[in-house]
Amino acid sequence: MLKNSPIISVSHDIMGGTPVFTGTRVPAQTLLDYLKAGESIDDFLDGFPTVTREQVIALLEEAGKQVISMAA
């Protein structure tokens, strides 16, 4: 689980407890919304420069692992 990790943090003091990229106020859901709309990772990073490429890649890798483990 990613909650309160180097990738995602959750605090009621930040965005009312919405999962955000650690060290930012950018909801993780925003990345998924960008990708679903056909935008690229670079488009997302341009719009949210406080998020690092490493955080984005780590989130996607972890999400992929979780999906695969659920299907196994």
Share of the chain above pLDDT 90, in %: 83
Q: Tell me the angle at which helices 28-36 and 53-71 cross, rounded to the nearest 10 degrees.
A: 80
Quick: pLDDT tens for 23-67: 999 999 999 999 999 999 999 999 999 999 999 999 999 999 989
When the pLDDT of each residue in the chain is averaged and rounded to a whole number, the result is 93
36-63 burial, b at 16+ Cβ within 10 Å, e below that, comes to eeeeeeeebbeebeebbeebbebbeeee
Q: Hey, which residues does 14 pair with through a beta bridge?
A: 11
Q: How far apart are the first and last CA of the chain?
A: 17
Predicted confidence (pLDDT) at residue 4 exceeds the cutoff of 70 = no
Domains and CATH numbers, the chain: 8-71 (1.10.10.10)
Global pTM?
A: 0.86
Quick: pLDDT tens for 6-35: 899 999 999 999 999 999 999 999 999 999
Q: Are strands 8-9 and 20-21 parallel, antiparallel or unpaired?
A: antiparallel
Instruction: Output the pLDDT for position 1.
Output: 52
